[in-house]
Chain A
């Protein structure tokens, strides 16, 4: 990407391609793509790459509690983090959280997109309603859920009691696992709209003649779904899934608002754990090490997933 630096002035108007065979034109053709991606590269380099580099630097440094870098620490931070008693539990939680939220919301979001792609009365309203959870800040969304499921003043208990379904207030979160399940449910709730709209936008670009031809050939609904719909929305589904894995893995507000990882790290994921390390315990070096570990896990998972799906795409 070093070529970005050697920008050349873009000619005001390109001559028709037939005359573009002189060496100067050829050189321009070689450089042209880099000019097109330059703004994007600069934007990401300045505002994302530099901060990422400083995280790597911190993870290898001895950082004081107030956040001053005191010197090089090798892999000391990593060793300390991995040896920590809660780390295994937190890692396990992170995997459960990511897999549960991504898989369930992808399946449910996909089904919902199929449903909303039908023509029916009130479709516009339904589509607008589905976008609600996504249009709400996660902090607020999580506060509302916390408020709803509260044992003592939660509206879920009130509602069920008024409906006569339960007689006494139910404690919806008797164990840490139950709390974690609610957090996952909340995560799924806010992720579904994202998947649904990725798939919907894919569905809308499918040419209806494919289906007409298939109907003539006598294909049933499921055959059409698996032979036409799925392959054609696969590219938008792949993108949404990869990004979802990343977003959900790194999701912070839901868990932070609902439990802060309590009790005793039982609902912590890597991100909430490292946030506490950095800003509550004042161990920013270790926190940076946790984020590098999380990054490596994501890198491996996302690469494997993408290589797998892209290769399958090439076979077709």
Chain B
């Protein structure tokens, strides 16, 4: 009896907590989605309706043509492809440089270790806006102005700090025993890292991948200064065409922006599965 009496309020409390949980989650989602809702509705309106004195929430007549018009008014397909190439390329280079560095920091002891970690953080302390002129001069020397490759290197460099710090933490959280065993079995360091450590560290690596991809996807300032040919521009810079001298075409700007979000959200949803499965497999230890 006593047991039951003690259990009952507990389950009521649990139900209340559940309801509270859903309440909070739904609220957060609504607030988060509201700007996108506003963006989407505006993208479907005519300019006259956007500024009409009798404001509307949903468009009176949905102008789906706005979503089509932007493709003819600007080389949107080029922009989209460039953005994907830049973000993808930056991710791969940042990982290729960052994984070995993080591995060395987590598994080896060497002079200047702390200095290197410090340098990594310090390298982030200037905003790209500040470094524009210097970056441009370096790119000029390398012949990388107006090229996607230049942007890929810049984004990879600016994401090194994040990559190294996050992966170092991940690697340090994984016991080195298995790698040592692999070494005794005749693997060299590179093999023991790629065959033993990286699969176990997959969730951390995937998280890092998303971070770099999104950061590179959203980069604006450097791309603005380095890229001069219209068809070489990424989306973030390219859609500025709707933000001209005489007017801001809100409906086109927002329609184009929605296209810019979709790929990232799709990518994220694909990878989210891996985050969860990484957790379920329980291969990672704290």
- A, B from the same assembly: yes
Give A36 to B100 CA distance when docked, in angstroms.
5
The answer to whether B112 touches A132 (Cβ under 8 A) is no
Q: Any chain A CB within 8 A of the CB of B46?
A: no
Interface size class of B (residues with CB under 8 A): 35 or more
CB atoms of A47 and B214 under 8 A apart: no
User: What are 24 A-B pairs at a CB distance below 8 A?
Assistant: A33-B113, A36-B100, A36-B101, A37-B101, A39-B96, A40-B160, A43-B156, A50-B134, A51-B133, A51-B135, A126-B28, A128-B272, A130-B28, A133-B32, A137-B235, A153-B50, A153-B55, A155-B38, A157-B55, A159-B57, A205-B173, A210-B286, A250-B129, A287-B130
A residues 107-151 near B (Cβ < 8 Å) are 112, 115-116, 118, 120, 122, 124, 126-141, 143-145, 147-148
Residues of chain B contacted by A136 (CB below 8 angstroms): 218, 257, 260-261
Contacts A1-B112, A115-B24; is A137 near B130 (CB within 8 Å)?
A: no
By the criterion CB–CB under 8 Å, are B162 and A243 in contact? yes
Contact with B along A1-33 (1 / 0, CB 8 A): 100000000000110110000000000001011
Cβ < 8 Å to A, chain B residues 106-160: 108-110, 112-113, 115-116, 119-127, 129-131, 133-135, 137-138, 153-154, 156-158, 160
- CB contacts (< 8 Å) of B286 on chain A: these are 205-207, 210, 232
Contact A131 B218 (CB under 8 A): no
B264 in contact (CB, < 8 A): yes
- B60-112, CB < 8 A from A: 93, 96-98, 100-101, 103-105, 108-110, 112
Q: Is B199 engaged at the interface, CB distance under 8 Å to the other chain?
A: no
Q: How far is the CA of A112 from the CA of B29 in the complex (A)?
A: 11
A126 touches B29 (CB 8 A): yes
Q: Is the interface of B mostly helix, strand, loop or mixed?
A: helix
Residue of A nearest to B39 (CB): A144
Chain B neighbourhood of A147, CB < 8 A: 38, 42, 250
Minimum CB–CB distance for A68 against chain B, Å = 11
Contact B108 A33 (CB under 8 A): yes
Q: How far is the CA of A67 from the CA of B183 in the complex (A)?
A: 56
With A43-B156, A132-B36 given, can you name 7 additional A-B contacts, CB distance below 8 Å? A55-B133, A128-B272, A189-B32, A204-B279, A205-B285, A247-B124, A253-B220
Please give me the residue from chain B that is nearest to A288 by CB atom.
B130
Q: Contacts of A153 on B, CB cut-off 8 Å? A: 50-51, 55
Q: Tell me the chain A residues, 39-74 only, with Cβ under 8 Å from chain B.
A: 39-41, 43-44, 46-55, 58, 67
**A interface bracket (residues with beta carbon within 8 Å of B):** 35 or more
Q: Closest CB of chain B to A63's CB: distance in Å?
A: 10
CB-defined contacts of B135 to chain A, threshold 8 Å:
47, 51
Residue positions of B touching A, CB distance < 8 A: 18, 21-22, 24-25, 28-29, 32-36, 38-39, 41-42, 50-51, 55-57, 93, 96-98, 100-101, 103-105, 108-110, 112-113, 115-116, 119-127, 129-131, 133-135, 137-138, 153-154, 156-158, 160-162, 164-166, 169-170, 173, 183-184, 186, 188-189, 203-204, 207, 210-211, 214, 217-218, 220-221, 235-236, 239, 250, 253-254, 257, 260-261, 264-265, 268-269, 272-273, 275-276, 278-279, 282, 284-286
**A-B contact count, CB below 8 Å?**
273
Are B21 and A120 interface neighbours, CB within 8 A? yes
One of B126, B170, B278, B285 near A291 (C-beta < 8 A) = B126
From residue B281, how far is it (CB to closest CB) to chain A in Å? 11
A244-274, CB < 8 A from B: 246-247, 250-253, 271, 274
Q: Which residues of A contact B (CB under 8 A)?
A: 1, 13-14, 16-17, 30, 32-34, 36-37, 39-41, 43-44, 46-55, 58, 67, 112, 115-116, 118, 120, 122, 124, 126-141, 143-145, 147-148, 152-153, 155, 157-159, 161-162, 189, 194, 197-198, 200-201, 204-208, 210, 232, 235-236, 239, 242-243, 246-247, 250-253, 271, 274-275, 284, 287-288, 291, 294-295, 298-299, 302, 306
Give, as a whole number of angstroms, the nearest-CB distance from B184 to chain A.
7
Q: What residues on B are CB-neighbors of A235 within 8 Å?
A: 169
Q: Considering only CB atoms, which chain B residue lies closest to A53 in the complex?
A: B134
Q: Which residues of A contact B110 (CB under 8 A)?
A: 30, 33-34
Q: Which residues of A contact B217 (CB under 8 A)?
A: 135, 137
- Cα A118 to Cα B87 with chains together (Å): 31
**A250 contact set on B, CB distance < 8 A:** 125-127, 129-130
Whether A252 and B129, one on each chain, are in contact in the complex, defined by CB atoms closer than 8 angstroms, is yes
Docked Cα-Cα span, A299 to B269, in Å, equals 37
Distance (Å) between the CB of B21 and the closest chain A CB?
A: 6
